[in-house]
Structure formats: structure tokens, C-alpha cells
Structure 1
Amino acid sequence: MNKFFACLIALCIVTGAATGQQQVLTTTFAGGNGQMGNCFDIAATGGSDVTICGFDCSPLASGTFDIEVYTHTAAGSYAGSQNIPANWTLAGSATGIPGTVGTPMPTTISLAVVIPAGQTQGFYVTFTNGNVAYTNGTNLGGVYASDSNISFYEGTGHSYPFGSNFAPRIFNGNINYTVGTGGCAAPPPPPWQTNSAISSLDVGGTQGSAFSGAVSQACQGGLMNLNSLSTAGTMTDIAVTLAPHGPSMLGSNANNTVNIDIFDPSFFSFNGGTPNFAGLLRMVAHPGVFVFPIPTATPLVGSAQQVALDASNGDGYTLSQAPQANVTAGGLLTYAHADDGFIVQLINQLPLCGGTYTEFYGATFGDICSQSNGWASFGAGSTDFSATAAEWQAAGEGRFGLGSDLEPNNYGTVTLAVNGPAMSGDPGASMLTMSYSNITEWGTGGLGVTSYDLIFNGPQGNEIANFTTDGTWSAQAVVVGMSKGASGTHPALVSFDSLSGAGPQAGSVNDSWLEENPTGMIPNVTGFSNISWPTTFGDMCIVN
């Protein structure tokens, strides 16, 4: 029974990879876009020949797929051949392969493609009946991922076969390879243990995979349950640490993968009492199913892995997956905006936590919508990329911030944070900050760099704060300000530059305050950086 720790005592962990042993270079699994296939280059940049053994990829939508892998027939980069089928050799194909979004999907196609030291080889990995996931790149032909042996380069996306070009695009997946030309040994065991009927553990029902550990999150004070299953009567215990889990930790072997750090000082036995297994755990008969509420009164990170005695396993026991539980007091939401898209976020749910609602023109909202084109809205979102004051005045929802055709899907970041209780307006509301940082004008390749914060119920009321732009804005129309939409009142447009430093400006409670420039960025000769509505209504505006 002590095989669980025998490897640990013997220090049987491989710290380096010998020739013939498969290694893995991961590009990314960030997704965000997709097409039927990817072309890309791999180079042997470590001074030795390498052999490419196969790929794991990722689908844009879960399903079952047919896959083909091609190699560029001539040595060197595929560049210039992406639309010429005659320049490629079919290296292998597979049908009926299941795949899940965001999870490595083995193509099951065994390759043995040798890349001589210092040389480059082009590949084309494609579905024939669906779309692979890929990520928009920034530097076609540039190195995106590398290790001491190989380099992977940003490539192109294509319809099937060898069709339309989308560039630059980053293949999402794992590159499985060996050093040398001795062929491909069996790949290492998957890095994550999965659940089975005899040993199953999860937090809130979250299941991992052989390539991805299960992580569950809850807000401080929320509900979070540990669920344990086994065959009734099976002897089990749960090893627990107040530390993160990890792939293939010390003690893993071909029969079981250990995914918690059993040497962490916080390690303890769930059953407690005098150990009767490996000197650390106390095995007792499992009832078949039990649920344990995880304490969430304070923030924590913890992981656990169940051990079940199992005579059918060569080790004499079977491990469960190792779920990780994160209890947080709240954090920062970073939006993954698509072009001309919007994302709605509940204020009192992960990853924010601790929020209640926000206030806009006296109405309260439990959620807030971030627009990729620069503004926050309430009650609805919009995919419109045009920017006119008339649209803001007639909208069915309130709008706040800057409106233009922006490109946060490629440049800059957009975030949302709960900053605590309201400091103005409704005392039951929460102060929120939605930050647009280094966003750019669409279609300019990164020009028109602009940043600002949208603050709700802050010390200055509702505020467009810390506004800066780098002076390279071109011709996209811009609208800036605050509007209640169709339910508000709409006086004449203003010049915030003219109002800068002039003190409080009076209006009516439901007034909009908008400036529009149909041919570019709004003027800012005075260098103002903050536009505030201290009461959170339209009855007062201050620019400084």
C-alpha cells in the first residue's frame, strides 16, 4: 500500500528529457477566433535535430471532428504555399475525434517528421468538418512560443482546404516532439488525474480533464461544496492542502497522477486520527456519496485528492482528480472583447464579488455592460460601431463614456473592478471603475492610443477620469459624455474643452451631456482629464 509514496522516497522524478522521450511545447489555448485550419512553421533552434510526433489542437466549438495534417513538401517555411495544395503532402488523417472548447484535443495522428538542426518545416493542421480555435496574432512569421529545442511561429488561418487567408493567426495546441532522429517514444502520461467510479472528487460539480485541472471559485461568504463519491464500503481518505494543485507532481506514475503537493506544510488527512496508510492517511469505509461544505468565511486556496483502495489498480489504490477551490474577496475582471461586441457582468458575482448594484440617473442596476467601442451601458448592449450624439440620445439604454470604432480585441485592455461601497449617490450602491487602457482607433494598426476610467458612485459622483489620448487619432467619429438615452432630456451639445476650469455647470436632472466630433477625436486644447457629474444625475457637470 505504500507505493503511493515509494517513488517520493526514491526521488523517482525525471528532471530532464533524453533523446527519444517525447516533450511538449504549448502555444496557447486562449482561443478568441477560429477557422477550419492553421498553417504555421516550426524550426529546430536548439542545435539538434528534432522529430515532430504529433499535435494536440482545440476546437472553436465542442463536437466530433475529422482532422488532416499536412507537411510542406519542400524544406523551409510554408510562406507563399498556403493556397497551393500541390506544395503539400498529407501526413495523416483521423475521423470522429471528440473535442471540447479550451481543452487540448489529441489529433491521434502519429507523425515522425524530422526537422534538421537549424532548419524550418511548415505544417497545416485542419478540420474538414468544423473550425479549430486560434488566437489573433500580432507578428506574422514571428516567434510566439519556444523552448530549448524548437520555436513556433505565428501563422495563418484558412478555410478548407488551403482556402482564404487570415493573418496573423496563432495555432492553439501542443506540439509533441522528440530530440534527435530516433523516432517517437510513447508520450508521457497525461499530467492530470481524472475521476473514476471508485474515486471521484469535485467542488461544485466542476470536472477537469487529463490535460486540465478542475478549478472552482466562490466569493467570500458564498456557497461551495466538496463532493466525494466511491463504491460504498471502499476504504478511502482525502489528502488536503491549503495550496494550489499542479500537473504531474512528485509521486506520479503510469497508474496514478498526483496533483497535490503532499510535502506542503498545510497537508492534512480529511478523516484525521491515527494514520493507517503510508503513515499519512487514515482510510475508512466510504458511504458511497457525501457532501462537505467548504468554509468560505475568509479567502483561501486549497486542493484535495481522494485515495481509494483498489485491487484492480497496479498500485493497489486509485486517485481521484485534484480539484482546486479558490475563495476570493473579489478581484479584477479583464474583458475579452470581440470587435464591435459587448459583455454584461453581474456586479455581485465572480470574479468581482462584494458588489451590490450601481446607480445611473437614479435607477439601480445589478449588472453593467461594457462595450468594445468604448462606453458602459445599462439595460442593453449594442454592436453598433458608428458614433453620433443622436444615437446616444435615442438609445433604449443609458450610455456613459466614449463612443467610437475601437479595437480592444487587438490593442489595449478593458477591466472592471468593485471599489467598495458608494462614495456618492445611493448609499446602498457600490463604487465601480471600468477602465479602458491603451485602446486604439480601429483599422490604424495601433494608432490613436487612448485611456480613461469610467467611475460610478465615486468620490466625484459619476466620472470620466484620467482621460488621455496620444495625438495620433485619425478620422473615426467620436462621442464623449453621459446620456440617459430615449428617456432623458437632451439640450444642445457641449464642448468639454470650453467648460474646462469653468466650475460647476448647471443642468436638469435627466439631461444628457454630450460632445461629438464626426471627423476625429474631441478637441482638448486645455488638457482636461476629468469630466464629473457629482450628483450622479445630469443636473451638474464639472470639467477639469
Structure 2
Amino acid sequence: MLRITVVCCLLASLVCGQEFITVQGGNGAPGGTDANITFLPGPFAAPFTVADYAAAVVGAPAEIIPNGSFGWGSPLSNNPLAMWISTTQSGVQPSGLYAVPFTVNSSVIGLATLSVNLLVDDFLGDATNVGVAVNGIPLPGTNTSTPGSWVNETALTNLDISSLVTTGQNYLYLYGNNTGGPGGVNFSADITVFSTAEYQVNQPGASMDIDGLTSGPSGPVYASRCVGQAVTLTFSSTNSGMPFEIGILTGDPLVPASGGGMVLADGQIVNVSLTAPSITFLNNLGWTSPFPAPSFQQIVSIGAATTTSAQTAIIAPAQPSGLFLSAPNVLDTSAAQTLVLLLPDDGNAQVVLANTPLCHTGGVSFYGTTYNDLYVGSNGDVTFTAGSSDFTATSGEWQTQMPRIGIASDLEPNNYGTVDVTIAGPVVQVNYTNITEWGTGGLGVSSWTVEFNGALAPVGITGFTTDGTWGATPCVGGASLGAGGTHPALISFDTMAGTGLQANASATDSIIDENTLGMLINTTGWTDFLLPLGDGSAYIVN
């Protein structure tokens, strides 16, 4: 267990102590047992009890598994020295509730946070028990659900555990849920303890929030919204009628207590930087405007891509500092218009284009119909009206089911490559990047973009590449209105590449290429399949 203690001066008379603790799996030699971590073996059919957590503490030591075993990924990005642990060295390794001890030396705990990077086979937690607990108290939202998490690292960041840790001995618990075959966990966890909170929290004397969101001592009230999207600010105070002020930052960050925030005599924290270039005050620091009511609301919207932060202060003569402070609030309208999708094997995700972070209100047009949402499939196609999870790509499905466009096959985006949706002005792109043929261990690396309102055409597939290692898994590509369309004979993109604009008999016609023996044939090096009118009336292959 690694420990670093830092003492930093916040103000002339105030001191902030910080304690950093790191715990990891693999405290010993590969093939041996872990000197620090013990476990209670599963399976677990009922919710964990106090007795279960206690049994994990006095259980057998965890086994350290050599890195690279069972196809498991390593090392972790934040700690390459961490190693896999399990309940046994080989065979079917039962699920385990792992107990990880750590010691807090700080006598005063104002704030404590937990961040964990991990790989796990198969999952962290299940439907009955959550994946992470501290001192026997489960932390909601710490389960993993995406297959392939033994090679795709998961990060749980800045979990607030202030009320759960105590001075002295503490325990972090990880529930590694194995659903069959090998199972284990590779983790590195950072516990940060501050003697004071980092951010002011709302209180009866002064409260401010965005759309009802809350915060804790580890961070502000935070809302990410689209440019121009309206939000509701709610203010309340038991000191209505007293003068108040709101400090506002535009583009400048808030400051935590340990990073320049002003800690007042009664422990309240001013998190808006009073020296920031953009600082403004609602009432010009006159301190004559009374807080108008015990509670009131204000609807606001920000018309530019930026971050706007604010904190309310209300005169309170009985307070040592003379003030009540609200929690700081951040309204972020600067988020990049990219949505990274964590797709499961053989699944899909509905994407509502107007939602944050895409904020695209124009929809997309496909075969003459405008859609405000689309379904991005794990297996390479973008569909409308419903999602597809089928991994057996056939032209018959494309002709009889929902509208779709893309290059479909049995793919493995849960383990290799990325899938995202990106907005650039009017252009909507669904990017399949370095996706692989399923079950090949990373072969058949291929990329393409399904594009709407693009520079080349209203609808198309652009930037297609494949590395030549694809095997025999069938592929289907093109565009189709599905059951509502008409379906002429299949074509070959490879044959039609470079032949110019090709006209069809009907705007409802599908244009489909199929290879039942492998990847779409590409001896000509074609990269783009374009629908210049956005429907089946014509197409170009370049």
C-alpha cells in the first residue's frame, strides 16, 4: 500500500492535509498468493450481509495469476505493476468477494474519494450485489455490464466515500462475478483523503441547483446541455430578505479548496475564483439586493459553447463568516459533439440526435423520411425505426426488415475498435473504426463511416478500408428501405467502382452487395458508396 501525505496552505491561517493511498492486486509473485488481499468464494445468490464482508476479511488469500493467462489483458493504464488475482490458479475459478485493507492516518476527514481502474472476467457485480463496497457499504453504479471487460479497461472515477471511511483500518471490497470458465480481477485503486471538503455543498441558508441536480463535497453541481437549451435554476434560503450576490465565471474553472478556493472561518468554501478574468457579479457587489423569497426559480439558456459557473452568497450576520454559501454550479455547453458507444456483442444502441452531447436538431433524411433518432448496431449497420442485433448478415434480412445502411457482418466491437457518432455542423457520421471479424482474436481489421448530409452525398458509406486478413464470415453492404422498399438484383461494389452515376428504376430500390464467403470483394480499392439523392434512385461507387 503506497501512501503520500501532502500539506498545503490555503490561506495564511488555514491548512489543508491531503493523504493519497494506492492499493492494487498482485502483492507478491505470480503463481503465489497475495500478501494483502483475501476473499470469500461464491457463488452468491443473496445480498451480501455484514457476516459476508467479515468472512471475506478472514478468508483465504487471493491467488496471483501470471499476466497474459487466459487471454486476459494487462497492464492497467494507471498502474502497470498491478496483477490479476483470482480465487484459484486454474480451472473454473469461482466468483469472489475480495477484501482489500487500507489505512487512513488523517485524524480529520472532510472529503474522501475513490478511483478504480480495473479489468475483470466476467463482470463487477450482478443483479443482486453491486461491484464495489467500502467498509461493507455498497457503492451504487459500480457494476460492469459490457462483455470483454477482461481486455477493455474500466475506470470508476472520484466516487465520494467521505461518509464511509474512518481514521485507521478500512476495507475496499470488490465483487468479481464469474459466469463460467476463468475469472478474476486486475485492479488499482486510489483513495484520496482531504481534511477539508473541496467544494461547498448546498445548505438551508443558501442553495442553488440546475434542473434539480445535486452535488457533494468532491465536486460542483454539474449539468451538460446543448447550446441554447433551457435549464431551470432553483434558489432557496432561510435568510430571504437578506442581501445576496451571485459570482459568475464564463470559461474560467472553479477552484477547489486545495487549489485556490477560499476557505472561510466557518469552513464554508468559495469555489468561484475571485481573481479570474471573467468574474462578474449579478448585483455588482453592492450587497443591497435582498434575496427575494424563500425559494424561486429562473429559466436560463446559454447561446454559446462555453462553461458557465456560479455560486450564491447570502448575508448571515450570525455566521462566523457573515455569509451562507451555496454549492457551486457548472452549466457546460462546450461538450464535443461526439458520442462514443460501448456496444455489446450482437447488440445495438438507440441514439437520439438532439440529446447531449450530439445536440443535432435537424435529424437525418433516409429514403425521403426524416428521422430524429437512429439505431447503431454492433454488427456494422445503422437502422431506422428499430434496432438489429442479428449477427448472420443476409441480403434477405435487408429486403424484409427495417430500413438500414452500412456494412454488416459478425463483428466484435466489444473487444476491438471503436464505434462513435459525431456531429460536424449539419453532417452526422457513424464511425466504425478498426472493427474486427468476430472470434478471430483481432483479425479482419476494417473501418468505414455511415454519413448523412456529407460533403460527397446526402447519404453514403465513406472511407471503407479492410486489412486483407478477413476470414470466411459473410458480409452484406449497401442501403435498403427494407420491407417498404423494392428490390432489384444484387450488385457488386467492386464491379461498379469507377463506372460513374448509376440510375435505378425507383427511389425505393435497394442497392445491396453480398458476399456469402467473406468480406465484400474489393480488388479495385473502392472506398465510397454514395446515394446522391439520399434514396435508391441512383448511386455511385468510388
- TM-score, normalising length: structure 1: 0.70
User: What CA distance in whole angstroms lies between the structure 1 residues aligned with 2:459 and 2:231?
Assistant: 35
**Structure 1 residue aligned with 2:433:** 437
2:486–2:508 CA contact under 8 A, matched in 1? yes
Bigger relative contact order (CA 8 A; separation at least 6): 1
Trace 1:225-244 onto structure 2 (pairs within 5 A): 225-231=232-238, 232-242=240-250, 243-244=252-253
Structure 1 residues 170 and 362: CA distance shift in structure 2, 3 A: farther
**Structure 2 residue aligned with 1:10:** 12
How far did 1:24 drift? 4.8
Correspondence 1:245 to 2:247: no
1:158–1:165 CA contact under 8 A, matched in 2? no
User: What CA distance in whole angstroms lies between the structure 2 residues aligned with 1:204 and 1:8?
Assistant: 32
**Structure 2 residue aligned with 1:326:** 332
How far did 1:190 drift? 4.4
Match of 1:529 among 515, 518, 527: 527
Q: 1:390 aligns to what SS in structure 2?
A: helix
Query: 1:422-457 CA distances to partner (integer Å, 9 max, x unpaired)?
Result: xxxxxxxxx422211112222223222111111123
Match of 1:207 among 188, 202, 214: 214
How far did 1:233 drift? 3.4
Amino acid in structure 2 at the alignment position of 1:457: N
How far did 1:52 drift? 8.9
**Structure 2 residue aligned with 1:372:** 378
Amino acid in structure 1 at the alignment position of 2:208: L
1:226–1:292 CA contact under 8 A, matched in 2? yes
Query: 1:304-337 CA distances to partner (integer Å, 9 max, x unpaired)?
Result: 1223455776655443221101224972222232
User: What CA distance in whole angstroms lies between the structure 1 residues aligned with 2:466 and 2:11?
Assistant: 60
Quote the RMSD (CA, aligned, Å).
4.3
User: What CA distance in whole angstroms lies between the structure 1 residues aligned with 2:296 and 2:336?
Assistant: 29
Query: 1:70-102 CA distances to partner (integer Å, 9 max, x unpaired)?
Result: 4885598365751489x999678xxxxxxxxxx
State percent identity of aligned pairs.
Answer: 31
User: What CA distance in whole angstroms lies between the structure 2 residues aligned with 1:451 and 1:208?
Assistant: 41
User: What CA distance in whole angstroms lies between the structure 1 residues aligned with 2:209 and 2:316?
Assistant: 20
User: How many residues end up aligned between the 2 structures?
Assistant: 446
User: What CA distance in whole angstroms lies between the structure 2 residues aligned with 1:361 and 1:320?
Assistant: 52
Match of 2:513 among 509, 515, 527: 515
Structure 1 residues 324 and 368: CA distance shift in structure 2, 3 A: same
Correspondence 1:131 to 2:137: no
Amino acid in structure 2 at the alignment position of 1:158: G
User: What CA distance in whole angstroms lies between the structure 2 residues aligned with 1:187 and 1:307?
Assistant: 24
Match of 2:473 among 476, 480, 491: 476
Amino acid in structure 2 at the alignment position of 1:77: I
**Structure 1 residue aligned with 2:488:** 491
Correspondence 1:158 to 2:164: no
**Segment of structure 1 superposing worse, 440-449 or 485-494:** 440-449
Q: 1:414 aligns to what SS in structure 2?
A: strand
User: What CA distance in whole angstroms lies between the structure 2 residues aligned with 1:126 and 1:476?
Assistant: 34
Amino acid in structure 2 at the alignment position of 1:130: N
Structure 1 residues 455 and 80: CA distance shift in structure 2, 3 A: closer
Trace 1:19-418 onto structure 2 (pairs within 5 A): 22-24=19-21, 41=25, 68=53, 70=57, 77=64, 81-83=86-88, 129-132=128-131, 133=142, 158-159=176-177, 164=180, 174-176=189-191, 188-231=195-238, 232-242=240-250, 243-245=252-254, 247-248=256-257, 249-250=259-260, 251-252=262-263, 255-274=267-286, 284-285=290-291, 287-309=293-315, 315=321, 317-328=323-334, 331-395=337-401, 397-418=402-423
User: What CA distance in whole angstroms lies between the structure 2 residues aligned with 1:144 and 1:220?
Assistant: 29
Amino acid in structure 2 at the alignment position of 1:131: V
Structure 1 residues 455 and 8: CA distance shift in structure 2, 3 A: same
Tell me, which stretches of 5 or more residues in structure 1 are unaligned?
Answer: 1-6, 27-39, 45-50, 54-62, 93-102, 108-123, 147-154, 178-185, 277-281, 422-430
How far did 1:198 drift? 2.0
User: What CA distance in whole angstroms lies between the structure 2 residues aligned with 1:255 and 1:525?
Assistant: 70
Amino acid in structure 1 at the alignment position of 2:254: H
2:215–2:327 CA contact under 8 A, matched in 1? yes
Amino acid in structure 2 at the alignment position of 1:489: T
2:221–2:328 CA contact under 8 A, matched in 1? yes
How far did 1:409 drift? 2.5
- TM-score, normalising length: structure 2: 0.70
Correspondence 1:420 to 2:425: yes
Query: 1:356-398 CA distances to partner (integer Å, 9 max, x unpaired)?
Result: 1211111111222211211111111122222111111111x20
Tell me, which stretches of 5 or more residues in structure 2 are unaligned?
Answer: 1-8, 29-34, 38-46, 66-83, 102-111, 117-122, 132-141, 158-172
1:193–1:319 CA contact under 8 A, matched in 2? yes
Q: 1:219 aligns to what SS in structure 2?
A: coil
